[in-house]
Amino acid sequence: MTGCVMLAAVNFHTMLFYLFAILACGFAIGVVLADNVVRMALYLVFSLGATAGLFFLAGAEFIGAMQLMIYVGGTLVLLVFGVMLTAQAPFVSIKTSTGDRVLAGVVAASLLALLLQAALSVDAWRRPGLGEVGPPAATPIGTALVGIRVDDPPGAPAAGVRSGYLLPFEIVSVHLLVVLVGAAYLARAKRRRTARAIEVAASVEPAAEPRLRSTGAGAASALAQGGVR
Amino acid sequence: MSGLGMYGSAFPSPVPILAMAGGDGVSVAHYLVVGAILFTAGIVCMAVKRNALGVLMGIELVLNGANVNFVAFASPYLRGQGAVALGIDGQVIALFVILLAAAEAAVALAITLNFYNNHATVDVDRADNLKG
């Protein structure tokens, strides 16, 4: 019985908000601090997933679902593929120098102080939410995307005609098509030039500098070959 | 009834920065703080990572931090007394941001793979062919 009373007293919304907020922020900081690129990708998955939880808590269930499907399911799979394709031993963890780290810490602290000062300076934003539950958002979003508004912004005075999002929707559609074609063209299967680039670099600077400084020459010759072919 | 106060209406914030947002329940300012932290982490990630894929992850974090702000301002649930929520507008813009982030990731990844094929590295410090 006592357990039931205590359970009822728990503010689940606030508790879950803090859980997801700590997860999102903690893993975002983990992405910054990690040196291993595979770990960075994993932390990013967790951070974006926790952000989807925050979206659900804010009552934006459609955006939360899209976040999970497009970001975590699509973009991150893409990034992980990139990590796997380029994760040769020397590139898995490229260290940042200590001076850069210190400078980045100073810049981050001042930027965070500025943003927090701006975020906390408006009183209306600091009042706790009224907990007003809106209607499911999927239908208004869908109709707004084809240009018909059926929603009513809460708290706003009765407005006249609000514009829909048909034109941005079309622009984004064409943009996605262009991106699809462009990405497929850029990443199409080619003869691998990795070995070739190393070979050219070695022949231009024979054993003087094994750091591949002159791979630009390799790239240029590869480009020239591509042009001839 | 000990312990009731711990999870009652005056739920203490485990994070000092979030406690600065004040109030009993969750307000828009709480979400803004989370968005600010994600944004800062993304900016730092973009600036200090030498792996090109790390820079891409920083961009994702920045866009995500902006999205948190959009959703917070859109939410009728978080709207405080006397404030105006963006409503559907904010959510639609957040949706567009997610779509553009996906498109940006696809193109940037293709460019990174091309860079890797031509230069045999993903270290962005080596991409200095255009340096005068």
pLDDT tens digits in sequence order for chain B, 132 residues long: 333 333 344 455 666 666 655 556 788 889 999 999 999 999 999 999 888 899 999 999 999 999 999 999 988 888 877 777 787 888 999 999 999 999 999 999 898 888 888 888 888 888 888 887
In this prediction, does ipTM exceed 0.90?
A: no
B56/A180 Cα distance (integer angstroms)? 18
Count of domains observed in chain B? 1
Nearest chain B Cα distance for residue A159, angstroms: 13
Specify if B126 maps to a domain.
Answer: no
Instruction: Identify the residue among B9, B96, B122 best suited for mutation to test binding to A, counting A beta carbons within 10 A and taking the highest.
Output: B122
Q: Kindly report the three-state secondary structure assignment for every residue of B51-97.
A: EHHHHHHHHHHHHHHHHHHHHHHHCCCCCCCCCCCCCHHHHHHHHHH
Helix, strand or coil, per DSSP, at residue B123: strand
Q: Is residue B45 part of a domain?
A: yes
- Cβ separation B79–A129 shorter than 8 A: yes
Domain of residue B105 covers 16-121
Asked whether residue B46 is assigned to any structural domain, the reply reads yes
Give me the residues paired with residue B51 across strands: B123
Beta bridge partners of B123: B51
B chain contacts of residue A166, beta-carbon cutoff 8 Å: none
Which residues from B are below 8 Å from A212, CB to CB? 119-121, 126
| Nearest residue to B92 via CA among A162, A183, A54 | A162
Contact check, Cβ <8 Å, B57/A79: yes
Domain of B63: which CATH number?
1.10.287.3510
DSSP 3-state percent helix, strand, coil across chain A (nearest 5): 70, 0, 30
Could you give all domains of chain A from N- to C-terminal order, each with its CATH number? Answer: 1-94 (1.20.120.1200), 134-150+162-189 (no CATH), 192-229 (no CATH)
Provide the β-strand partners of residue B45.
none
| Contact (CB<8Å) B85/A154 | yes
Cβ-contact B113, A81 below 8 angstroms: no
Residue A111: which of B43, B101, B102 has the nearest Cβ?
B43
Interface A–B counts its CB contacts (< 8 A) at 344
Q: Which residues have a Cβ under 8 Å from the Cβ of A7 and sit 6 or more positions away?
A: none
Give me the amino acid identity at A209. Answer: E
Closest CA to A170 of A187, A143, A142, A146: A146
Predicted confidence (pLDDT) per residue in A127-174, tens digit: 877 777 777 888 888 888 888 888 776 666 666 667 789 999 999 999
Residue B83 located in a structural domain: yes
Confidence at A193, pLDDT banded by 50, 70, 90: low
CB count, 10 Å around CB of A134? 20
Spatial distance between the Cα atoms of A155 and A130, rounded to a whole number of angstroms: 11
Lowest mean pLDDT among A9-13, A75-79, B50-54, B60-64: A9-13
Q: Are B69 and B31 in contact (CB under 8 A)?
A: yes
Min Cα distance A146 → chain B (Å) is: 12
Nearest CA in chain B to A184: B110
Closest residue of B to A23, CA-based?
A: B34
Chain A CB contacts of B132 under 8 Å are none
pTM (2 d.p.)? 0.80
The answer to whether position B11 is within a domain reads no
Q: Which helix (H) or strand (E) holds A32?
A: helix A12-33
Distance CA A43, CA A38 (A): 9
Angle at A217 between CA A212 and CA A223, to 5 degrees: 125
Give the gap in angstroms from C-alpha A149 to the nearest C-alpha of chain B: 9
